[in-house]
Amino acid sequence: MKRTRLQADDPLSVGEMTLIPVAEIYSFSMVLGERAAFVARKRPKAVVALGPRGAVALSVEGEEISLEELAAGVPGLRKLVAGIGGSEAGRKENKG
């Protein structure tokens, strides 16, 4: 069974900035008779930076990406951003 998903990791505060890393998690498992195999890989995909000027999402290549589109694909990211102070009403949102 193959599975790929995006996951927000624990936020990291640096001065006035808070960074939320987003990783792509890939897993594969197989059972054949009495044998079983499991492989998993976690790779950085993006980072959300929250600060006094608002919130912005960046790809691992350093390009701005849509925060709304990223949040749509990452369970719990909207709630995490809002809880840190990145609510859409008071923050600059990247429109991609």
pLDDT of 54 strictly over 50? yes
Per-residue tokens: 2: 């193959």
pLDDT of 20 strictly over 60? yes
pLDDT of 72 reads 96
Helices (H), 7-90: 67-73, 77-84
Nearest Cα to Cα of residue 76 among 20, 4, 25: 20
> How many other CB atoms sit within 10 Å of the CB of residue 21?
16
Per-residue tokens: 21: 């890393």
> How many other CB atoms sit within 10 Å of the CB of residue 72?
12
pLDDT of 48 reads 97
Q: Which residues is 48 bridged to in the sheet?
A: 20, 57
Q: Which residues is 56 bridged to in the sheet?
A: 49
Annotated domain spans of the chain: 2-84
pLDDT of 87 reads 41
Mean pLDDT of 58-82: 95
Mean pLDDT of 19-27: 97
